[in-house]
Structure 1
């Protein structure tokens, strides 16, 4: 069915339309055009932006789904209408597995005079109100990230999170320290938030031949295995850095013969759970709502359940309340119908740290973390009650607006004694650390072996950037 050109004359919040047009220089290769209007009407003249889809990534959820387009629009809030143009794809003919991408040396659309021939099309797809001051210039946005190559190694559907995929990638490495300047990662992504990496870990070639890394390729003959010694997800290091605040108490527990305990709400692939156990000696309980996500963690991300790692399937909020109701962690407990095995100790089974990595499931309101449900007073009180006297809560925060941040801080200050902030440094995330009791920050004590261990695995810049709110 032919499109009516008048369809694009006005902005319609959240409207999404995609169609194909003939390629101006290749009759056998049509182009796909997608038009998405912002959720909010502009107060002044609208702004239109056009984006080229990177060649070879047309089937990536970022560029092939409405939710992916919506997240791109959120990343450019000044744009009222986003127009994406790229090579057409037929998802039914895409081979899987594997699906391999290697970054091309150049963009063929540019070489074929895209900026010239696309101008009439972009003007035709612009709202009438954009022409109040004459013929506008429509900026061409280039999607630029550090992805060198990628391969989808598994794709499945979870009961709660929906479609997800595991992919191995090679990324640009500015430091040049890992793998002689080459860096390989494994990622878990959800289709409902395609631009958001849910879990990311380092991977290394199975056959680490010191003379053969130049020949290692994503999608090649050499496989990869998880390397869990370093936290590469931007906000996980800062979350763990919050432990500097109660490091004296944790050290005291260790000196008295006890393993410190951590509760992780939101497990994903299990990078944080694994790191706390292997690098810092914690006993860890993890709660995740989707059993399929946990299966991906076990199969692809090195998540191992053992004497000191207990992972259960359940709702984070309900699980908190059940832990409070139990009073202490019994040897056999049930969380949302999943029976697990936990180890009790002399401090009522409470935790030295609760780490929260949960995000909103409604992408149409923008990416935000934590979900609004977590900010309820009963949930925060439950989180405080499962902490030991000098326990802390560390939470990843993505704030879509100032009011979200202000409400979050106010809610935490109503329940917890002290509140600290760590800037992740990526312009998106920051970490809040709340304390169950007043703490003394004394990072200079030399006989604190736990603190020394913490400093050896977490960049000191994070440890030194903690500021009290």
Structure 2
């Protein structure tokens, strides 16, 4: 069926159209062209932009799906229509294929020969002031090479990928280029968002100069947190360092409830490096299986995981904390398919609750937490499962200032004090709510726990905690 050129004359929010077009340099080849109109159209004159898909990454969900395309568009403020052009992707992911970034990463498609196509795909309204300029946006990241270890499907999160990547770090002016190796978990519903990332090291103990993705066996290294916002989340423990020290000195292991497991990097770090007993909450059994197989999440008495909806689990734990016998572990919940993976002896109270949940709808862009989580009854339930000196730390990706202001107001109505930690990536903020007045980690009287915390995560984030 032929494509009607009139289709592109007007903007239609969220419309996504793909088609093939003869390659201008290779007559026997076809290009894949994808056109997406932004779900949020500006009031002024529309702007059209184009982007070339990096060579050999045509099958990556970032470039081959409407959700990936949408995230690219939403990360380009003011663009009304984004035109994505690349070679035809190979159907599906090939587990044995290793991606290596081309030495010359310039597009192999002559930009000038495609200008008539780009103009033909521009809406009529963009010609009001003459022939429009159509900027060509570039996609850049620090992935040198990668290989997919597994492509699987979760009952809740949908399709996901586990991949090993080699990254180029420290390539700025005056910096030495450093090679780093990571393992990542990505979901197809939001392919630009890395759900979990951990360092990996060679099983054979080779130096980095001899390591090659896809040719060497790697194992997880959970001694270091590399995901941008996880270190600030752990730094929030500095606000209650004296209380944690008291518990440790009395022979009691501090306890953490981690809402959102992903690959389990945070859970593993709290257990192995800080000696916490950890309970995780994960909605998808397949994600938990992946965390254990690829990301080093152990299932033992120190780390237990509840499978179920985060809000239901917290409210049920709060119900138990109030002294009721029924709740999450009762018969009614079991009929919903929720269960405890491991021991059924889960404590009712925790020193800290750490929340890492993102919105699952790519149409709203990347944001966190889901609005349902910050309703008052949920926050009151979270408060009930905390000790009197406890705190709640939550990863926040505010889509706008209004979202963040409403979020902080909701927390103020429930908790005693509110703090924030800037992650430094221009995207995430860690919000910390406390049950009682706290003593800051930079008060000058640090104990053994705080000293250890500084050694593990660097004290910069602890010193940057700001009361709001």
Classify the TM-score, shorter chain: over 0.9
- Give 1:51 shift: 0.5
The aligned counterpart of 1:160 is 156
- Give 1:225 shift: 0.4
Q: 1:81/1:272 Cα in 2 relative to 1: closer, same or farther (>3 Å)?
A: same
Q: 1:259/1:60 Cα in 2 relative to 1: closer, same or farther (>3 Å)?
A: same
The aligned counterpart of 1:118 is 114
Pick from 233, 242, 246 the counterpart of residue 248 of structure 1.
242
The aligned counterpart of 2:450 is 451
Deviation by residue 1:337-388 (Cα, 9 ceiling, x = unmatched): 31342557xxx74111000000111111222100011111000000011000
Q: 1:453/1:73 Cα in 2 relative to 1: closer, same or farther (>3 Å)?
A: same
Rounded to whole Å, the distance in 1 between the matches of 2:57 and 2:463 is 40
Q: How does 1:44-83 map to 2 (within 5 A)?
A: 44-83=44-83
Deviation by residue 1:188-223 (Cα, 9 ceiling, x = unmatched): 00000111000100001111123xx32321112x11
Task: Indicate conservation of the 8 Å contact 1:229/1:275, yes or no.
Answer: yes
Rounded to whole Å, the distance in 1 between the matches of 2:362 and 2:41 is 18
Q: 1:230/1:129 Cα in 2 relative to 1: closer, same or farther (>3 Å)?
A: same
- Give 1:442 shift: 4.5
The aligned counterpart of 1:146 is 142
The aligned counterpart of 2:9 is 9
Rounded to whole Å, the distance in 2 between the matches of 1:255 and 1:157 is 45
Rounded to whole Å, the distance in 2 between the matches of 1:362 and 1:170 is 29
The aligned counterpart of 2:167 is 171
Rounded to whole Å, the distance in 2 between the matches of 1:309 and 1:342 is 12
- Give 1:100 shift: 1.6
Q: 1:209/1:418 Cα in 2 relative to 1: closer, same or farther (>3 Å)?
A: same
Q: How does 1:42-441 map to 2 (within 5 A)?
A: 42-91=42-91, 96-107=94-105, 109-110=107-108, 114-174=110-170, 181-210=178-207, 213-220=208-215, 222-327=216-321, 334=329, 337-339=338-340, 340-341=342-343, 349-441=348-440
- Give 1:180 shift: 8.9
Secondary structure of the residue that 1:33 maps to in structure 2?
strand
Q: How many pairs were matched up?
A: 456
Secondary structure of the residue that 2:413 maps to in structure 1?
helix
Q: 1:51/1:442 Cα in 2 relative to 1: closer, same or farther (>3 Å)?
A: closer
Q: Which moved more, 1:21-30 or 1:333-342?
A: 333-342
Rounded to whole Å, the distance in 2 between the matches of 1:119 and 1:354 is 53
Task: Indicate conservation of the 8 Å contact 2:31/2:85, yes or no.
Answer: yes
Q: 1:251/1:328 Cα in 2 relative to 1: closer, same or farther (>3 Å)?
A: farther
Deviation by residue 1:113-172 (Cα, 9 ceiling, x = unmatched): x22111111111101111111111110101001111111110110000000110000011
Rounded to whole Å, the distance in 2 between the matches of 1:118 and 1:413 is 54
- Give 1:95 shift: 5.9
The aligned counterpart of 1:465 is 464
Rounded to whole Å, the distance in 2 between the matches of 1:116 and 1:208 is 49
Deviation by residue 1:255-287 (Cα, 9 ceiling, x = unmatched): 111000000000011000000001111000001
Q: 1:342/1:463 Cα in 2 relative to 1: closer, same or farther (>3 Å)?
A: farther
Give me the TM-score of the superposition, normalised by structure 2: 0.94
The aligned counterpart of 2:34 is 34
Task: Indicate conservation of the 8 Å contact 1:333/1:342, yes or no.
Answer: no
Rounded to whole Å, the distance in 1 between the matches of 2:81 and 2:285 is 38
Q: 1:95/1:290 Cα in 2 relative to 1: closer, same or farther (>3 Å)?
A: closer
Deviation by residue 1:284-320 (Cα, 9 ceiling, x = unmatched): 0001000000000000000001121111211111111
Task: Indicate conservation of the 8 Å contact 1:423/1:430, yes or no.
Answer: yes
- Give 1:108 shift: 5.7
Rounded to whole Å, the distance in 2 between the matches of 1:95 and 1:196 is 18
Give me the CA root mean square deviation.
Answer: 2.0
Rounded to whole Å, the distance in 1 between the matches of 2:443 and 2:359 is 38
Task: Indicate conservation of the 8 Å contact 1:310/1:342, yes or no.
Answer: no
Task: Indicate conservation of the 8 Å contact 1:58/1:86, yes or no.
Answer: yes
Rounded to whole Å, the distance in 1 between the matches of 2:62 and 2:446 is 49
Task: Indicate conservation of the 8 Å contact 1:443/1:451, yes or no.
Answer: no
Give me the TM-score of the superposition, normalised by structure 1: 0.93
